[in-house]
Amino acid sequence: MEQREHVVAVAVQSPEGSQLRLLLASFLALYFELVVIRYLSTEIRVFAYVKNLPLIASFFGLGIGMILGGAPKRLSRAFPFLATLLFLLIGFAPELHLVHIPFPPLDYVVWGSLPVEGVLPHIQVFEYLLVTVGILMLLVAFFIVLGGIVGREFSYFRPLPGYSINLVGSLLGILAFTALSYLDLPPAVWLCAGLLAAFPFLRKHRRVILLFLLVVVVTGVTQRSAFWSPYYRINLVRRPPPTGWTQPSAYLLTVNHDYHQKLIDLSPAFVSRYPTAEPNCSALPTYELPYQLIGSPKEVLVVGAGTGNDVAAALRHGVEHIDAVEIDPLIYRLGVRYHPERPYSSPRVTMFIDDARAFFKKTHKTYDLIVFGYLDSHTLLSSFSSVRLDNYVYTLESFQEARGHLRQGGSLVLAFAGGHSFLTERIFATLAQAFGVRPRAYYTHYDTAGVVFLEGAAQNAPIPVDFPEITDQLVKDAHDVILATDNWPFLYLIGRTIPFCILWVLIPFLFWCFTVFGWNVGFPRVAKPGHLHLFFLGAAFLLLETGGVTRLSLLFGSTWVVNAVVIGSFISMAFLANTLVMFRTVSRRSAYLGLFLSLGLNLIFPYAVLDGLQPALKVIAAAAIVGLPVFFSGLVFSRSFRDFDQPSQALGVNLLGAVIGGTLENFVMVGGTPILGRMAIAVYALSAVFLPRSRTPSAASSLPAAKQGSASIRLAAPSREN
């Protein structure tokens, strides 16, 4: 990377409108981080399961850009083409055969990905590394430019006022993308909104605007048939009905280019007339099975209701009332509009758009039958976490909660496309532990890998269809299986290990980042005790944020709203701490004491006791317990940050620390979710070791903004151009 002289304006006259420009720059950085991670995980499927790799790349690029105080000239000139290449690669992933690139050894189950096997495994692994590392390098370059814009605008401010503006801009970025997700708007709108926000910084670069507009138009045209929910890209394909049937009889629904579910007509009128029609006839035994086993229950709960197949089955068998739970509002609305049997229009159905675990905690009802639909999520619940969206539904604690909602003589039926795999063994063993009785298990072969598990009264009923029973085989195979629990919810991971698909990318990528970029930004020069202090604060804060997302997802549900609220509240806590430090001197010793006490409380506090509280009180209590470490951490950071003469560089070093925090987060798959809190304590302790001596802020940083012009220090050239 080209070395060049920069001038960081520690003490120059703040240009008119610079507050708005810093706000916009900070908005852009966070907004595009969310856009890229969401869009990338949708179109190139491997990134849906390793979301923290794009997060790490984003943080690294932003940190380097802020340390430099502006993008290098060569990179700035190439930015229009880099940005265009990045978004065209993502948008044309299907045409470029990037959606389902080969996956490394299958220690981690990923739906739809091709296993690395056959005659050319080494070439497949090379293809995987080439695509993933190449995309991550593009991300680093893209975010170096955005980080440079933030760093350049930050240079006009004293540390704490600038940091406040930066936090507000970041919060607005979260709110903006959350609003677009809520409205189910497509990537073309995401990119157009980002371009409009970036216009003040790019107006002199007509190529950027023209190329970005090209990307927006192409994206809008190529994806015009897709629906976009807060979780997925959804495509719905109508299957041609049999001859003589004038209504749609089946649809195929895919999420993020992977098959997800069918909408099928299994009404008596259709089945009697077309008993061999596909895909209907092969699905019928699976959906009829619960009611052939236990008759006509009065009250039924369906979790993972999807577009309504399980609900339609319950209605056909005369169930008096059905509670249906589905996490994705758009999938539910597609079921309302397109399902051939219109199950959601029945007055006997009550719909809940919620996470299954959250519903278990909220409801006090009991049921004759609980049906777990096919809850395969295809994605992680957050870019901060390695937990997948449906992981907490299949834990020991989840099954125990479900058992608590069964009436005397009630039954639980769980369907899962696990096939002959450790997934089936793990669910079998976890159900057996939760109920104290081994479930009966059968291969249904629905969608080739369907398995059904029966608990409760359904165990004693004779199976009316020819499904091969595999209970005895699972008893032999599942005796030493690791159970899925709330502390270790990694259903799709074969054991307590970091998957090869992460390690094989993360190690060479980090090596490339810190060698190629490290010496060019002068890492030895910035590796001073004060900077190391901020570096470890950044690493620990990301671990804290990840822990907060996982804890509150368990408490309130793994929904996109919860994740947005958690991240937004953490930024708000940092803003509150920064505001306090701006107006009052805070002892870092006292802040550290509060930090470690609150971290210890988080480790030992039994969050389950909050489930019995009223909703408003539950929110307040959870926010206080989870948010206290964030507040004290913010006090430490702001108190140290205010003393830096080069705030942009210092904040960049803090972001590089977040890269290490994102890397350490992967160890949660080895030690379980409690390890996040322990690692956060250890890294915060390291930050205390490198705590710089307190000093009076420099003359330049202590002067009012209007008087700083005479105190400027030539470190880098402030420029409004990229």
Per residue in 27-69, pLDDT (tens digit) is 999 999 999 999 998 999 888 888 889 999 999 999 999 988 8
Render 239-302 in DSSP notation, one character per residue: EPPPTT--S--EEEEEETTEEEEEEE---HHHHHH-TT-TTHHHHHHHHHHHHHHH---SEEEE
Whole-number pLDDT of residue 405? 96
* Mean per-residue pLDDT, 458-466: 83
Return d(Cα 437, Cα 455) in angstroms, integer.
8
Per residue in 239-251, pLDDT (tens digit) is 999 998 989 999 9
Whole-number pLDDT of residue 511? 85
* Mean per-residue pLDDT, 298-316: 95
263 Cβ contact list (under 8 Å, min separation 6): 236, 250, 251, 253, 307, 308, 309, 334, 335, 338, 339, 340
Question: Per the structure block, which two tokens stand in for 159?
Answer: 């540390």
Per residue in 109-146, pLDDT (tens digit) is 776 655 555 545 567 778 888 889 999 999 999 999 99
SS3 108: strand
Question: Per the structure block, which two tokens stand in for 145?
Answer: 């430019």
547 Cβ contact list (under 8 Å, min separation 6): 602, 673, 676, 677, 680
**pTM exceeds 0.75, yes or no:** yes
Question: Per the structure block, which two tokens stand in for 542?
Answer: 């990301």
Strand partners, 455: 412
In this prediction, residue 698 has a pLDDT band, given cuts at 50, 70 and 90, of very low
**pLDDT winner (highest mean) among 512-521, 566-575, 619-628:** 566-575
- pLDDT reading at 680 higher than 80: yes
Q: Phi and psi dihedrals of 322, rounded to 5?
A: -130, 125
**pLDDT winner (highest mean) among 63-72, 102-111, 308-317, 712-721:** 308-317
In this prediction, residue 515 has a pLDDT band, given cuts at 50, 70 and 90, of confident
* Mean per-residue pLDDT, 438-455: 90
Whole-number pLDDT of residue 118? 53
Whole-number pLDDT of residue 101? 84
Whole-number pLDDT of residue 717? 36
Whole-number pLDDT of residue 381? 67
In this prediction, residue 522 has a pLDDT band, given cuts at 50, 70 and 90, of low
Return d(Cα 597, Cα 601) in angstroms, integer.
6
Is the model more confident about 256 or about 613?
A: 256
Whole-number average pLDDT of the chain: 85
In this prediction, residue 523 has a pLDDT band, given cuts at 50, 70 and 90, of low
209-216 long-range contacts (CB < 8 A, ≥24 apart) are 211/80, 211/81, 211/83, 211/84, 212/80, 212/83, 212/84, 214/84, 215/83, 215/84, 215/87, 215/88, 215/91, 215/191, 216/188, 216/191, 216/192
* Mean per-residue pLDDT, 227-234: 92
* Mean per-residue pLDDT, 531-539: 93
User: With the CA atoms of 574, 614, 550 and 168 taken in that order, what torsion angle do they form, in degrees rounded to the nearest 10?
Assistant: -20
- pLDDT reading at 5 higher than 70: no
In this prediction, residue 105 has a pLDDT band, given cuts at 50, 70 and 90, of low
Whole-number pLDDT of residue 701? 39
Is the model more confident about 573 or about 221?
A: 573
Smallest CA-to-CA distance from 661 within 109, 69, 52 is with: 52
Task: Return the amino acid letter for 29.
Answer: A
Whole-number pLDDT of residue 552? 81
- pLDDT reading at 185 higher than 80: yes
89-120 exposure pattern, b = at least 16 Cβ within 10 A, e = fewer: bbbebeeeebbbbbbbebebbbbbbeebeeee
CA 219, chain centre distance (Å)? 23
Whole-number pLDDT of residue 482? 93
Is the model more confident about 31 or about 717?
A: 31
Whole-number pLDDT of residue 199? 83
In this prediction, residue 703 has a pLDDT band, given cuts at 50, 70 and 90, of very low
Query: Which domains does the chain show, CATH number per domain?
Result: 18-225+495-711 (1.20.1250), 293-376+396-477 (3.40.50.150)
**Are 508 and 681 spatial neighbours (Cβ–Cβ below 8 Å)?**
no
- pLDDT reading at 383 higher than 80: no
Percent of the chain residues topping a pLDDT of 70: 89
- pLDDT reading at 220 higher than 80: no
* Mean per-residue pLDDT, 74-91: 86
